[in-house]
Amino acid sequence: MRIDVVSIFPQMFDAVRGSGMTRIALERKKLQLELWDPRNFCEDRYRRVDERPYGGGPGMVMQAPPLAAAIRAARSSGHGRVICLSPQGPRLTQERVRSLAGAPALVLLAGRYEGIDQRLLDKEVDEEVSIGDYVLAGGELPAMVLIEALVRYLPGVLGNAGSVEADSFSDDMLDWPHYTRPEDFEGARVPAPLLTGNHEEIRRWRLTQALGQTWLRRPDLLAQKQLNEEERQLLAAFRKQYEEQESSE
């Protein structure tokens, strides 16, 4: 997979290039990551990429010409779909990450300042994506979030390929609780089903906990999920036990 990033702060991406799964993906040649600085495409000696907005108002707006030139240069190299990281876009979901991970190439646009000239967005950007309902100083950190989410789907990057499908949101549910040694930590013990060695019992316990944690913390996810008969029964049992515990306290 090839990812091209258009950003006026390309040095920020040294963090993902040199760390974690992205570093592994680059070393194993599963990922090609290229950075494009719009300042290198400016025609004035000051290399300005921003200007005051028409109509007045606070802040500066990123200009269309240098961004367009950088995007077109990136696109000519990788022919990727252009995604602008922006709070204006729909929220990023695991389903969307899974879909994007199948693309051979992507161009990520990281905006700055008060915004980007709308004409640039209309002409060059295929879609906008938000990582949440809040505002950051720029699109670099959201771009890094998307890159890490995508890298997890590249074959040969994760030590255990099954980890991807076991993660939170992979089945529209939160993850179940995890435990490791020691068996007893300050009086808190590992749940008994995990110590049985019975794979079916462990599977049912984990599924129950995933359903229960999602019901407690993200009921909106369950509202859009079609539960099968087993899942309905396990969730009902979890809710009953939880409500009995709450009433006894």
State the catalytic residues.
87, 114, 152, 167
Q: Which residue has the tokens 């921003």?
A: 50
Sign of the four-CA dihedral 74, 76, 78, 79? positive
Asked if 108 and 142 touch (Cβ cutoff 8 Å), the reply is: no
Alpha-carbon distance values, 121 to 23, 169, 226 (Å): 31, 30, 37
Please say whether the beta carbons of 85 and 142 come within 8 A: yes
Q: How many residues does the chain have?
A: 249
